[in-house]
Amino acid sequence: MSLPEINSRERFKPILFTNDASNESYYRISLGNLQFGGDEIVLIAGPCAVESEEQILLSATLAKEVGVKMLRGGIFKPRTSPYSFQGLGMPALEWFRKAADKVSLPIVSEVMDVEQVDQFEPYVDVLQIGSRNMQNFSLLKRVGQSHRPILLKRGMSATYWELINAAMYIAEEGNTQIILCERGIRTFSDFTRNTFDVAIIPKLKQECKLPVIADPSHASGDSKLVIPLALSAIAAGADGIMVEFHPNPQQAKSDAKQALSPEQLKTLALQLRSLAVAMGRRFGE
Site for a copy of itself in 195-234 (CB under 8 A): 195-203, 206, 219-220, 224-225, 228-229, 231-234
Residue 246 near a copy of itself by CB under 8 A: no
Beta carbons of 180 and 200 less than 8 angstroms apart: no
CA-closest candidate to residue 219, choices 201, 180, 192, 252 = 192
Nearer CB in complex with a copy of itself: 57/233: 233
Nearer CB in complex with a copy of itself: 19/33: 19
Residue 285 near a copy of itself by CB under 8 A: no
Nearer CB in complex with a copy of itself: 12/36: 12
Q: What is the largest CA-CA distance in the chain?
A: 61
CA–centroid distance for 275 within its chain: 20
Among 29, 45, 236, 242, interactor with a copy of itself by CB under 8 A:
236
Count residues contacting a copy of itself (CB under 8 A)? 75
CA-closest candidate to residue 58, choices 67, 47, 48, 69 = 47
Among 65, 89, 114, 174, interactor with a copy of itself by CB under 8 A:
114
Nearer CB in complex with a copy of itself: 23/30: 23
Residue 8 near a copy of itself by CB under 8 A: yes
CA-closest candidate to residue 235, choices 194, 280, 183 = 280
Nearer CB in complex with a copy of itself: 106/257: 257
What are the CA-CA distances from residue 106 to residues 6, 28, 196, 229 (Å)? 38, 16, 26, 24
78 DSSP 8-state letter: -
Beta carbons of 106 and 63 less than 8 angstroms apart: no
Residue 261 near a copy of itself by CB under 8 A: no
Beta carbons of 71 and 82 less than 8 angstroms apart: no
Among 275, 281, 282, 284, interactor with a copy of itself by CB under 8 A:
275
Binding map of a copy of itself across residues 71-110, x = CB under 8 A, - = no contact? -------xxxxxxxx--x----------------------
Residue 168 near a copy of itself by CB under 8 A: yes
Nearer CB in complex with a copy of itself: 124/140: 140
Q: What is the CA radius of gyration of the chain?
A: 18
